[in-house]
A = this chain, B = another copy of it.
Amino acid sequence: MPGKLRTGVFGATGYTGRELVRLLEHHPEVELAFTTGSGHGHVPHETGLEREASAYFLCLPHGVSAVFAARLRQAYDHALVVDLSGDLRLPDLDAYRTWYLQEHPAPALLGHATYGLSEVYRARIAGTRLVSNPGCYATSVLLPLVPLLREGLIDSGDIVVDAKSGVTGAGRAPREELLFAEVADDLSAYSPGRAHRHVGEIEAVLGEAAGATVELTFCPHLLPVRRGILSALYVRGAAPAAELADALRQFYAGSPFVRLVEAPPRLSDVVGTNDCLISVHAASPGRAVLFSALDNLLKGAAGQAVQNLNLAMGWQEQAGLPVHGT
């Protein structure tokens, strides 16, 4: 396939890896040269260096992924590496230690990755060769809030996020709490308050947008569905809901995947797409509530990874991705 970019996926058998493979197989600019099957939280047996490609996607467990990233960056410095794990998302070693409860596996790499929140960091991503792909919850929180904090339209000191995710967000490695008989007919909250790993990632990016420290209240829930995240974001501030909506509409005017809608978006609006839909509503005095919905395996993982590939390569942003209404 002359002219096509040679790509490969490490960890192609988990839910994210499988979705990514599907996208790459149909991407008009891409040749999928190899996949390795060591997803599911298992460490690959090989070093990764046996595989030469122009763009690598790492769907590997954290703690392993950055080791691969470092090795590939060194061996093939022309190649693009997109890391879908959490290894390169945090700003420094201390933060990594705090949220992942272990030492960073490739300290030299930290700080050299571009955080791949596509619509927010388009310019940075364009020139990079190392992308840290955002977490699924993080994407659903950051896309609605970053523009509002940059403009100072909401109070950075009082943000509450109540998020709900389908089970594919928890991965494909067999665990009792993910069995059908445990998840069906149920709803459970976990890591309440500030305990979930994505909190560190979210607070770092929100802090940069606000120019101030942000401490989030974040409660994720496990839904009895396979795919999709719906987050409710409760914010405070002087600006009325309509003004918040306007600011978001303006910020995302040129972004095909992020759109403002009137009624709260639901999972079925976004599952199977790379979209993130956002709505804004007035609440009690001084408060507003925003909803954001996305597919955790697409805009929350594999879809955004492909979008970042497109940005890094200078291709059309939608290439190889499902676009709403076309």
Contacts and interface: CB of A to CB of B under 8 A. Distances in A.
Contacts of A268: 185-186
A46 interface: no
A216 interface: yes
A139 B194 CA distance: 27
A219 interface: yes
B221 A224 contact: no
Nearest to A288: B193
Contacts of A216: 284
Contacts of A164: 164, 187, 221
A189 to B, nearest CB: 4
Contacts of A184: 180, 184-185, 224-226
Of the listed residues A185, A224, A225, the one surrounded by the most CB atoms of chain B closer than 10 A to its CB is: A185
A192 B266 contact: no
B266 A187 contact: yes
Interface string A211-232: 0000111010101111110101
A57 interface: no
A168 to B, nearest CB: 5
Contact of A283 (B187, B192, B282, B289): B192
A167 B192 contact: no
Chain A interface extent, by class: 35 or more
Number of chain copies forming the complex: 4
Contact of A160 (B167, B224, B225, B234): B234
Interface string A170-187: 001011101111111111
A311 to B, nearest CB: 26
A316 interface: no
A28 to B, nearest CB: 13
B215 A284 contact: yes
A3 interface: no
A130 B175 CA distance: 35
A257 interface: no
B221 A234 contact: no
A221 B268 CA distance: 14
Interface string A253-281: 00000000000101110010000000101
A19 to B, nearest CB: 12
A15 interface: yes
A182 B178 CA distance: 10
Interface string A183-216: 1111111101110000000000000000000011
A192 B264 contact: yes
Q: Looking at A40, A187, A219, which has the most chain B CB atoms within 10 Å of its CB?
A: A187
Given A162-B162, A189-B291, 7 more contacts: A160-B287, A164-B187, A174-B175, A179-B180, A180-B180, A192-B279, A192-B291
Interface of A: 15, 40, 158-160, 162, 164, 166-168, 172, 174-176, 178-190, 192-194, 215-217, 219, 221, 223-228, 230, 232, 234, 264, 266-268, 271, 279, 281-285, 287, 289, 291
